[in-house]
Amino acid sequence: MWRASHRWSGIVLGGLLIFLSVTGAILSVDPVLKRFDRNVHTLEGLTVGDVLRLSQKKNPYFEIDRIRVDYSGRVLLRGADAAGSREVPFNPANGRLARKDKPSPFMDLMLSLHRNLALGPAGRPITLVSVLTMLVLMISGVTLLARRLGGFSRLLTRVKGRGWDKWHSWVGRLMILPLLVTVISGTWMSLVSNGLLSSGVDSIAVPPETLSEADPMQASELAIFDTVALTDLTELVFPIYSDWWDVYVLRQGGVLTYIDRETGDVLSTNAVPFMTRVLDLFTLLHTGQGASVWGAIAGLISLSVPFFTITGVVIWLRRRHPRPRGMVAASVADTVILVGSETGTTWGFASHLAKRLRDAGQTVHLGTMNATYKMRDDATLLILAATYGDGTPPSGGNQFLARLPNYQGGAQFSVLGFGDKGFPAYCAFAEQCQAALSETGRQSLLPLADINRRSSQAFSAWGHALGPALHLQGLVLDYSPPRPRTREFVLIDREDFAGIGATSAILRFQVLGKGRLPRFQAGDLFGILPKSDPVARLYSLASSRREGVVELCIARVEDGICSNVLMDMHPGDHIDAYIEPNPDFRPARKAPTIMIGAGTGIAPFAGMIRQNSTQPMELFFGLRHPDHDFYYRSAITQWQSDGRLTGFHPAFSRHGDMTYVQDRLRGARETVAQHLLQGATVMVCGSSRMAQAVAHEIDIISASIGLSLAELRQHGRYLEDIY
């Protein structure tokens, strides 16, 4: 419900919301300009009595019937003389009356457009619908973000993800409070203008009458007005001259005072009606009238609405799933592929799978998990399910578990989970689907498989297992999600290592020609597209842009395509590649960082330590032999010497006591525990087998100090870049 209301409210009324936000931003300039109006004067130390006497002296023929101080601080007198009735600014320093304000035709047009689309009363309901839509968008947006982060209590934690989706959420969280103030105040004002809420005017009590029937005193002669400071004045309305029983009505903020026109005595005092005070407050908050600084800020903030609308539409368009040719109804398909996606990325994988199965002779149906299906009994059900936030089902699969009991057919199934291991509940929804399908009595063709960060390699490996399970020969899944534009890089330097069983090297590249390196940091990813294979391979960067080179740490892999291409390169050779940000794999900024890597997994840590200056960093490095694959050996010595590396814990699996990184963690548990108590972030880079052993040890160590691995993951303090 929340996703649908958020999506369609923005899509249907997005253009109108942009229009209102832009006109509102323009109007916010007016209160700022009024603060610098030449008729704004210092009012300190002056009273209403001073204004009355000075005006009577300097403007004896101007009969005043109202004095007010507007939101900019100008004193305005309304009255009449030979020139007619008018309201003009008054200079309390010299008693001069300024010219009557000439409204700006442009600002008047903007005000009319903003209030009612320049349609008069007929346009007010449209504006009301718009502000109510904006309110729905904000409430649903906060709810969705809370679900993504794992609860409302985590709204202040780091927003993970990438691209427009991340910025849409991040800016939304930043703007939520000021936008909420603007939208609620605008909603209230619109409800009042449409007659759905009272302005409070009808609630004002009937004023008392003057006590005697006599000629009134001149206002300038009433002593009470010498006690009313101009800085406290909102408005003073004079009695009707011919009505002997009428009285002065003085408003000072939220208080109304009724004053006898003959004696100047206070007849009664009442509070301004509650609804009037609320309307005044919301007018100030929405327009900035009386708080020009806030008005300017609110105007700038309102310009975030076009950003939200545009990025929201872009995200929606990206999430729309493709419809490949040749698909059949689910009731007759050999294979039914169902997709649960949040960002739309999973649909690309699913569409590729559907095409490959169709080419292999299968009849295929491709659809969303948010539907109920009647399948053949011998049909195969393939579930491609992404996980949203803290284990929440994605928008494209949030009805699957509820609808599953009504599914018919599909005796065998396989589940493929998509997610990001930087999130605490990695592929949790896929695990729920696997369990739920098993409970229905259906047979699982393959163990639950997972795809981390859109890995093309992992998808291809799953395809190799799926083909035989479906009795298909040569099923090849070589899908690679759309990539940024590649550029040519040239190898400028390499440092080779003999290794034990496999050679390795540290390679350094620059952009070919006069091109500049894009922005990147150590830990970002270098995507390489070998000519013999369209599937990109991603390697962690061991450098940042400021170093002027792209640095990789590569080991030759048996039957490896990309790694062997890289290992066979010589200085001067070229390769097509691109850089992909990996913002969720960064060291702690104000706390220690515990880095755990094995083999070439040291690459991102080398770059991070190189850039470190003040934060404690502990490196646990697993390698085979100090004489064969000790990457960055001399650099590590230098980093220890200059303080960039606080502690170094090497583990040699083919030398000395033959230990692994998990053994070194166990031996340094007190140091690790102390850093965890100080808020340390744990970063792991290397093989999945090593990562499993490390996670086990960290869980044990964290439990000894009242923490857990799950808690570290939840708070973004346990980060993995594994393969």
Residues contacting 423, CB < 8 A, separation 6+? 160, 387, 389, 390, 713
Q: Which residue has the higher pLDDT, 145 or 532?
A: 145
Q: Which residue has the higher pLDDT, 675 or 130?
A: 675
Residues contacting 56, CB < 8 A, separation 6+? 218, 220
pLDDT band, residue 434 (cuts 50/70/90): very high
Lowest mean pLDDT across 223-232, 534-543, 697-706: 534-543
Four-way CATH pick for 593-722: 2.60.260.20, 3.40.50.80, 3.90.650.10, 3.40.50.10190? 3.40.50.80
Burial, 253: exposed, middle or buried (Cβ in 10 Å; 0-12, 13-18, 19+)? exposed
List b or e across 583-614, with b for residues whose CB sees 16 or more CB atoms inside 10 angstroms: ebbbbbeeebbbbbbbbbbbbbbbbbbbebee
What number is the average pLDDT over the span 540-545?
Answer: 94
CATH class of 321-469: alpha beta
Every domain of the chain with CATH number 3.40.50.360 lies at 321-469
What number is the average pLDDT over the span 672-680?
Answer: 94
pLDDT band, residue 78 (cuts 50/70/90): very high
Q: Which residue has the higher pLDDT, 707 or 345?
A: 707
Q: What is the pLDDT of residue 318?
A: 63
What number is the average pLDDT over the span 160-181?
Answer: 76
Model pLDDT for residues 567-617, shown as the tens digit of each residue: 999 999 999 899 888 877 899 888 999 999 999 999 999 999 999 988 999
Given a cut of 70, whether residue 460 has pLDDT beyond it is yes
Distance CA 253, CA 249 (A): 13
Beta strands in 548-637 (DSSP E): 550-555, 574-580, 593-598, 617-623
Q: What is the pLDDT of residue 26?
A: 85
Given a cut of 90, whether residue 528 has pLDDT beyond it is no
Q: Which residue has the higher pLDDT, 144 or 693?
A: 693
Given a cut of 90, whether residue 204 has pLDDT beyond it is no
Q: Which residue has the higher pLDDT, 620 or 153?
A: 620
Is domain 487-580 annotated with CATH 3.40.50.261?
no
Q: What percent of the chain has pLDDT over 70?
A: 94
Residues contacting 222, CB < 8 A, separation 6+? 49, 259, 264
Residues contacting 601, CB < 8 A, separation 6+? 540, 685, 686, 687, 690, 721
The distance from CA 14 to its chain's CA centroid, rounded to whole angstroms, is: 18
What number is the average pLDDT over the span 622-651?
Answer: 92
What number is the average pLDDT over the span 132-156?
Answer: 74
Percent helix / strand / coil, the chain, rounded to 5: 40, 20, 40
Given a cut of 60, whether residue 161 has pLDDT beyond it is no
Given a cut of 90, whether residue 636 has pLDDT beyond it is yes
Tokens 């609808």 belong to which residue?
Answer: 403
pLDDT band, residue 241 (cuts 50/70/90): confident
Lowest mean pLDDT across 300-309, 562-571, 624-633: 300-309
Given a cut of 70, whether residue 177 has pLDDT beyond it is yes
Every domain of the chain with CATH number 2.40.30.10 lies at 487-580
Given a cut of 70, whether residue 254 has pLDDT beyond it is yes
Q: What is the pLDDT of residue 115?
A: 82
Q: What percent of the chain has pLDDT over 90?
A: 45
Model pLDDT for residues 474-510, shown as the tens digit of each residue: 889 988 777 668 889 999 999 999 877 788 999 999 9
Mean pLDDT, the chain, whole residue set: 87
Beta bridge partners of 326: none
Q: Where are the alpha helices (DSSP H) in 390-445?
A: 400-403, 428-439
Q: What is the pLDDT of residue 160?
A: 59
Given a cut of 70, whether residue 122 has pLDDT beyond it is yes
Which phi and psi angles does 144 have, rounded to 5°?
-65, -40
Q: What is the pLDDT of residue 300?
A: 80
Given a cut of 90, whether residue 700 has pLDDT beyond it is yes
Model pLDDT for residues 265-293, shown as the tens digit of each residue: 999 999 988 998 888 888 888 887 767 67
Q: What is the pLDDT of residue 453?
A: 76
CA-nearest of 685, 717, 686 to 699 is 717
Given a cut of 70, whether residue 320 has pLDDT beyond it is no
pTM: 0.56
Q: What is the pLDDT of residue 325?
A: 87
What number is the average pLDDT over the span 361-371?
Answer: 92
What number is the average pLDDT over the span 236-261?
Answer: 90
Every domain of the chain with CATH number 3.40.50.80 lies at 593-722
If residue 685 lies in a helix (H) or strand (E), which one and from where to where? strand 681-686
Q: Number of H helices and number of E strands within the chain?
A: 20, 24
Given a cut of 80, whether residue 372 has pLDDT beyond it is yes
Given a cut of 90, whether residue 200 has pLDDT beyond it is no
